[in-house]
Amino acid sequence: IQFTGSDTVGKIIAAEASKYLKPCVFELGGKAPAVVLDDANVSEAARSIAWGAMLHSGQVCMSTERVIVQRNVAAALQSELVAICGRLTAGDHINEPSIKLSCLFSESSAANVLTMIAEAKSAGAQVLLGDMKKDGAIIQPHILSGVKPGMRTWDRESFGPVIVISVVDTVDEAVDLANTSDYSLTASVWTKDKFKGLEVARRIRTGCAMVNGPTFVYEPAFGHAGLGGATGYGRFDIENFTVKRAVIMNSSPCVYPLVE
């Protein structure tokens, strides 16, 4: 069974499949973190994060949903993200070329995204960008700061044009926060020190981590998959869709001396 969708539905399918010992390959979503270290090129990181978060109005499993940034560059990064995303408008992008973002796939999805934002705000998060309103299934880009584990905007996939930001002091804190998630699909690390970037990327528990690149990435030779949890398991590749068998031909009859 191959399924792409929410982890809620994935659990139901897995439970039914287990009755028949049926193997499954699940891609169930993501909550991709972008870790921005204090020596990163902030402008490049901001452009990549905005693209990764807003493409298709955030309705992609690899969307950049969480930004974890070291304190020394946090203000600059937040300012650039607000400036970039503030120039984006959601609406009828087919008939109005100036509009870059589409609506969400349903009004209930838009309502859920706004509820998640409202919950985070009431729990202490700040809304840096966004009007917290919807027009049918259309919502504008939103950016929140001060978001923490335990808030749904941190814990659950929003599937909307939303970026949540958490500020940390150390690299260890950044890695711990990146790994504080049930999802394990993609991640990115931003730093001018490529060796540090590789070291940090290896510590983030994710199927694919990009150094100085967007979370929105796919490597065909590697397959598309997370490492379990709410992202699912298995890979969309020939290896996982092939039943392996063995047929052994003996050149001469086997001799079993113990039963002669």
Q: Provide the annotated active-site residues.
A: 27
Residue 113 in 3-state DSSP?
Answer: helix
Cβ atoms within 10 Å, residue 204: 20
Residue 150 in 3-state DSSP?
Answer: coil
Non-local CB neighbours of 142 within 8 Å, separated by 6+ positions: 113, 117, 127, 129, 130, 132, 160, 161, 162, 163
Cα separation, 79 vs 77, in Å, equals 5
Cα separation, 226 vs 215, in Å, equals 13
Cα separation, 11 vs 6, in Å, equals 9
Q: Which of 200, 179, 147 is nearest to 40 (CA)?
A: 200
Q: Which of 55, 11, 57, 229 is nearest to 159 (CA)?
A: 57
Task: Please give the structure tokens belonging to residue 102.
Answer: 């589409």
93-131 as b/e, with b when 16 or more CB fall inside 10 Å? eeeeeeebbbbbeeeebbebbbebbeebbeeebebbbbe
